[in-house]
């Protein structure tokens, strides 16, 4: 039996506590290091956080989901808009880390730290291809754990979600140009579709999709409206616009094979202005 002796607890320079567990027999005592903020540190970070607003409020439009895979830490940041960005972290110590978007050229970068009152402070900026760093003019935001945000969307867009004629014909989708700004839609009816190769879904596997509106699962989870058309797979939903203004719609294309978890194939996104 192992006994925790709480009276033998000291503080490290980083503010972590050390408890000493005394084992039986001739084994050496096991030292367990505890950060002053519990799991809110960059060695143990997991879960969803929202931007602190006021004393106790949370602004869900600014949110981040942290995932730990061994020694690697990744953050899926949604910095107030309709887009998410996956960023890998370089952890300096338990209290500080730098998150950088993958790729080349100018990329987003976030400098993050744990404050004395156990908040996460995040400063948004960029890093150039030459390594030059630029921090944004806005002050750093503070984030707090908020498990209720686990049902929000954090997946970065990888492809275009189509509507109108491009949602009905693959040939039309190939001819369409990327939108320089969100197109205006004046109808509540807006069928949307994404296109993918037939080979993405093998024999005995099922094509699925989740549909999100403004980062929320308001539409479909586990939809199966997928058909082969024109030598491609068409992932389709008769989407309805319920509110005016700027909105983001994203479709997570997935495949589920027997005995395996569902695999994400792509994230198709569309922003529209409904008038």
- Band (pLDDT 50/70/90 cuts) for residue 18 is very low
Contacts 24+ apart (CB under 8 A), 241-245: 241/185, 241/187, 241/188, 241/189, 241/190, 241/272, 241/274, 242/188, 243/274, 244/274, 244/275, 245/273, 245/274
Check: CATH 2.30.110 for 159-274?
no
Q: What is the mean pLDDT of residues 114-135?
A: 96
Tens-digit pLDDT profile for residues 32-44: 778 899 999 999 9
Task: Identify the pLDDT of residue 29.
Answer: 73
The DSSP output letter for 206 is E
Whole-number pLDDT of residue 9: 30
Question: Domain locations in the chain?
Answer: 3-34, 47-148, 159-274
Query: For residues 57 and 62, what is the distance between their CA atoms, to the nearest angstrom?
Result: 12
Beta strand 263-274 with 159-160: parallel, antiparallel or unpaired? Answer: parallel
pLDDT of residue 219: 64
pLDDT digits (tens, 9 = 90+) for 186-219: 999 999 999 999 999 999 899 999 999 999 866 6
| Residue 239, token pair as written in the block | 């989407």
Measured CA to CA, the distance from residue 100 to residue 121 in angstroms comes to 16
Q: What is the pTM of this model?
A: 0.82
Report whether pLDDT(107) > 90.
Answer: yes
């Amino acid at each position: 039996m192992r006994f925790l002796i709480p009276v033998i607890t000291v503080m490290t320079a980083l503010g972590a506590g050390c408890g000493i567990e005394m084992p039986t027999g001739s084994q050496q005592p096991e030292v367990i290091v505890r950060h002053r903020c519990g799991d809110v540190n960059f060695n143990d970070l997991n879960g969803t956080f929202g931007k602190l607003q006021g004393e106790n409020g949370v602004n869900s439009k600014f949110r981040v989901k942290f995932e730990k895979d061994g020694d690697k830490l990744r953050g899926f940041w949604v910095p107030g808009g309709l887009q998410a960005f996956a960023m890998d972290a370089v952890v300096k110590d338990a209290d500080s880390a730098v998150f950088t978007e993958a790729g080349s050229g100018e990329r987003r970068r976030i400098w993050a730290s744990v404050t004395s009152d156990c908040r996460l402070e995040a400063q948004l900026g960029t890093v150039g291809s030459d390594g030059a760093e630029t921090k944004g003019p806005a002050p750093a935001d503070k984030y707090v754990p908020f498990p209720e945000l686990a049902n929000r969307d954090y997946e970065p867009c990888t492809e275009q979600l189509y509507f109108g004629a491009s949602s009905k014909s693959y040939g039309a989708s190939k001819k369409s140009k990327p939108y320089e700004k969100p197109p205006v839609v004046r109808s509540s009816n807006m069928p949307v579709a994404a296109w993918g190769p037939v080979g993405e879904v093998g024999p005995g596997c099922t094509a699925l999709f989740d549909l999100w509106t403004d980062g929320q699962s308001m539409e479909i989870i586990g939809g199966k409206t997928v058909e082969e058309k024109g030598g491609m797979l068409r992932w389709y939903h008769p989407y309805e616009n319920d509110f005016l203004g700027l909105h983001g719609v994203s479709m997570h294309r997935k495949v589920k094979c027997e005995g395996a978890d569902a695999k994400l194939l792509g994230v198709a996104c569309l922003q529209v202005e409904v008038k």
